[in-house]
Structure 1
Amino acid sequence: MQHELINQERLAQTFIRLCETDSPSRKEGRMAALVTEILCELGADPPFEDDSATQTGSECGNLIFRFAGDPDLEPLFFNCHLDTVEPCIGIKVVRKDDIFTSLGDTILGSDDKSGIAAMIEALTVLRENTLSHAPMEFIFTTCEEIGLLGAKALNPNHIQARMGYALDSTGFGRVIVGAPASNRLRIKVKGMAAHAGLSPEQGINAITLAGQALAAAPCGRIDEETTANFGTIHGGAASNIVAEEVVIVGEVRSHSPEKLDNLTAEIEQAFCKVIDEWSDPTGEARGVPELDFQVKQDFPAMQLSAEDAVIQRLDAAAAQVGIPMGHEIAGGGSDANIFNGAGLPTAIIASGMTHVHSTDEQVSLEDMSNLTALVLALASN
C-alpha cells in the first residue's frame, strides 16, 4: 500500500527544492527555515530548536519536530543532517530519466537531502490519507559533515523516542548495524629554532623528529576492525630556519574499544621514544625537544545486533514493502554513533545516494520512493 500512496513527482520536486537551497556546514539557516516551512504547512507544530549553535557556530540549532501518534505503538525518530559538503553554493539539479545529478561544478546534496525528502513525503502521505502511525520525531542536525558537531551538542534528553533511524548512507537496501569508534590525535613536536646556515647545531629540527616518529608509528589498515591515519602535518617557518615546531593531526578507528586504546597508546609510545632517546650530537643545542600528545574521542562505536528491537522493526518493515535489507558494518562515523553512544539505539538506513562528496554525486527517484515506503512502514508498525 505504501508505494501506491507515494506521489513520486511531488517527491522529486521536494528533493530538487531542498538541493537547490544552499546549506554548507555552519550556514544551515536557509535549509532549517525551508524544512520548517514545509513541515508546518503539513500541520506540524513549530520545532524545538536547541541552543547548540553557541557550540557549533552554526546559523541555527538542531531542530526536533514532534508528531503525536498511536500510543499503542512504540515511538521512534528519524534523523537527517541539514548541512552539505562543499562545493555546494548555487546547486542546479539536473534530472534525466529520473536520475538526479548536479550540473557538474557542485555536489548534488543528496547527502543528506534524499533522506529529508523521503521524510517529508512520508509525512505528507500520512497526513493526506489520515493514516495511523507511531509517535514520531524528526531530528535535523547541523554541522554533521565537519565532525558530527550538531549531534554532539544535542542534549539526548530532548529526544523522547528511545530508538530511531538515521537516513544517511550510500547505496540502497542496506542498513548499517556497526561502525567504529574514533580517537582524534593532535600531536605537537617542539624542537628549537636556529639559523640553518650559521648555527644549525644550536637548533633541534622538529620535522626530523616527527619524521622518525611517523616512520615508527603504525598507520593504515591494522586489522579488519582497526585503522590509523595521519591526515595533516604543518610545521617550520622557512628553508633557512631549523624547524621549531610540527603539528600532526591524525585519527585511530576501531570497532573494538580495547584495540582503539591499545593502538592509540602504541602511536603515542612511538613519539615518546623518539623524544626520550634524542641526544645532542654536538652539545650545542639550546634546549631539548618536547612532545604534546593530545587524544580526544571523536565518536563512540556503534554496535547493533539482529536481535535488537530497532533492527527487528526495520526488518519487518522492509519485508512488508518488499525491500531486501542487508545488514552491514561500516568504517565511518555518523550522527547515529552519537545517538547510540547516548543510549538511543539508532540504525543507519541507506538513502540511495552514490558518489557522495564529489561532483559526480547522484540519486534515483526510484530509490527515494522506496526509502519513503520504508519510512511509512516503519512509522506504521
Structure 2
Amino acid sequence: MINSERLADTFRFLVGIDSVSKQEGNIATELKKIFESMGAKTAVDEAGKITGSDTGNLVIKFTGNQKAPPLLLNAHMDTVEPGKGIVPVLKDGVFTSSGNTILGADDKSAIAILIEVMTVLKENNISHGPIEIVLTICEEIGLLGAKHLDMRLIDAKYGYALDATDTEGIVTHAPGANRLEFKIYGRDAHAGAAPEKGINAIVLAGKAIAGLEIGRIDRETTCNLGIIKGGVATNIVPSYVNIKGEVRSHNSEKLKEVTNNIISSFENVIKNYQGDSSNGLPRVDVIVEDDFSCTNIPEDHTVVTLAKQAAASLGRKMITKITGGGADANVFFSKGIMAGVIGTGMCDVHTVRESVKVDDMVNTGELLLEIIKLHSTGH
C-alpha cells in the first residue's frame, strides 16, 4: 500500500525546506496545511516563545473511527547545520545530499513516512483509532521542544518516536543525562614579566581533568568533557576557562555518583590551591543541568508487543534495543508516556555523508501501518 514514489517525492519536498533548530516555522506551516487537508485538527503550542524558535511544537490529531486508546507518533522538525539549501540526490534508490550539507533524513524521513502512512489510511478507508502526531522543535539542541511541550494537548499514554536507524529494532532503554559546565576564574598577569602574580585558570582546569576517568565508565555509564575555552594570548596568564561536558547512565544512582565525582575534582583543585588566594580567587562556578531522564520500557508493554506482532505479520523481526543516545522519547517517558523509538533507515546523520534508502522508509511505513491496524483491533 505504501507508494514508494510518492514517499520519495514527499521526502524530497520536505528536505527542500530549511528548518535548522529555531527556524522550523516554514516547515511547520507546510505540514499544518498537509495534515489539515487530510481532515486532522492541528494546534501549535507556545514552546517557541520559550526556546526562541519561530514556531511551537505542532500537534496533529486524527479522531479515527475505532474505539482504542490514542496512539502517539512523534518526529522532530528541526535539523542540524549545515542544513540550509539542501539539494537531495536520489541514485539507485538511495537519497544523499549534494555533499555540501546534511541530507535532513534526521528526521524528515520520519515526517515523510508519517504523511505517507496517514495518506494510505485515508485513501483506503482503513479503520484506525485516535492518532496523535507530535512534531517537535529544537530536538537537536537539547530536546527543547519536547521539554516544553504543552501536555494539555496530549491524551496518548504510549506510542512511537521515529528517530533511529534500525528498521528492525525498537529502542526501549535509553540513558539519563546531565550537562555540566565549569567556569574557573584565576588571575591574569604578564606571562613573561610577572607570571607569579597570576593564577592560571587553564592549569587548574588541567589538574581537575587529569584526575577524572573519562569515556566509558562501565556498560551503563559514560562521561565526556567536550568543550574547553580559555585564554587570550600566549603572553598572558589566563584568568578564565570554561569547560562543558556530560554524564550519561542507564542507572540514576550512577548518573548522580559520576556527576558528583567530576564536580568534586574541580572543587578540590580550587580548595587545595597553594598560591595567593586573595580576593576570592581562584574560584569555580558549577552548573549542572538535568538534560533528560532514563527510558525503561518493559518487554511486556503494549508498545513492544504491538511492534513485534506487527513485524511478525510482515514476516520480519523486531528486537528490543538499548541505546546510549537521547531522543524526545526520553522526555515523554518522564512525562508518563511510553514511546519506543523505531528506525527509518537514516545513516551517517549529522554529517554531509548522511543518507537514507527509499526501501527502508517504505519498510518503516509498512510497519507503522500494521501497528496502527493491530492497535485499532486490540491486537
Relative to the length of structure 2, the TM-score reads 0.96
* CA–CA separation in structure 1 for the residues paired with 2:110 and 2:279: 59
Indicate the residue corresponding to 1:28 in structure 2: 24
2:324 counterpart SS class: coil
- Do the aligned residues in 2 keep the contact of 1:201 with 1:284 (CA within 8 Å)? no
d(CA) in 1 for partners of 2:277 and 2:321? 58
CA contact (8 A) 1:192 1:287 kept: no
Q: Deviations over 1:305-329 (max 9, x none)?
A: 2111211121122222223112110
Specify which of 250, 269, 274 is matched with residue 274 of structure 1: 269
Provide the secondary structure at the position in 1 that maps to 2:359: helix
> Deviation per CA, 1:288-342, whole angstroms, max 9, x where unpaired?
3111111111111111121112111211222222231121100010100000111
Cross-structure match for 2:356: 363
Q: Which residue of 1 aligns with 2:103?
A: 108
What amino acid is aligned across from residue 83 of structure 2 in structure 1? C
Does the residue aligned with 1:145 lie in a helix, a strand or coil?
Answer: coil
Name 1:332's counterpart in structure 2.
Answer: 325
Contact 2:15 2:104 in 1 (8 A): yes
Asked if 1:60 corresponds to 2:58, the answer is no
Residue 375 of structure 1 is matched in structure 2 by: 368
| 1:279 shift after superposition | 0.5
Q: 1:347: which partner in 2?
A: 340
Task: Name the stretch that deviates more: 81-90 or 191-200.
Answer: 191-200
> RMSD across aligned C-alpha pairs, in angstroms?
1.4
Whichever residue aligns with residue 25 of structure 1, its letter is S
Contact 2:60 2:133 in 1 (8 A): yes
Deviation >3 Å, runs of 4+:
283-288
1:302 has 2:295 as partner: yes
Following superposition of structure 1 onto structure 2, how do residues 1-381 of structure 1 map, counting pairs within 5 Å? 5-45=1-41, 47-280=42-275, 288-380=281-373, 381=375
Residue by residue over 1:261-308, the C-alpha shift from the partner in whole angstroms, topping out at 9 and shown as x without a partner, is 00011111111221111112xx59765311111111111111112111
CA distance in 2, matches of 1:243, 1:68: 61
Q: Tell me: CA distance 1:218–1:157, structure 2 relative to 1, closer, same or farther (3 Å).
A: farther
Aligned-partner residue type, residue 177 of structure 1? T
TM-score for the superposition, normalised by structure 1: 0.95
Cα drift, residue 90 of structure 1: 1.2
For 1:379 and 1:286, how far apart are their aligned partners in 2?
Answer: 65
CA distance in 2, matches of 1:32, 1:148: 17
Cα separation, 1, equivalents of 2:127 and 2:185? 63
Shift of 1:357: 1.0
| In 1, Cα distance between equivalents of 2:259 and 2:331 | 21
Q: In structure 2, how many angstroms separate the alpha carbons of the residues matched to 1:53 and 1:288?
A: 40
Task: Please say if residues 39 and 62 of structure 2, whose CA atoms lie closer than 8 Å, have aligned partners that are also in contact.
Answer: no
- 5+ long unaligned stretches in structure 2: none
* Bigger Cα displacement from structure 2, 324-333 vs 150-159: 150-159
Equivalent residues of 2:66, 2:129 under 8 A apart: yes
Contact conserved, 1:148 with 1:335, CA < 8 A, in 2? yes
Any gaps of 5 or more consecutive residues in structure 1?
A: none
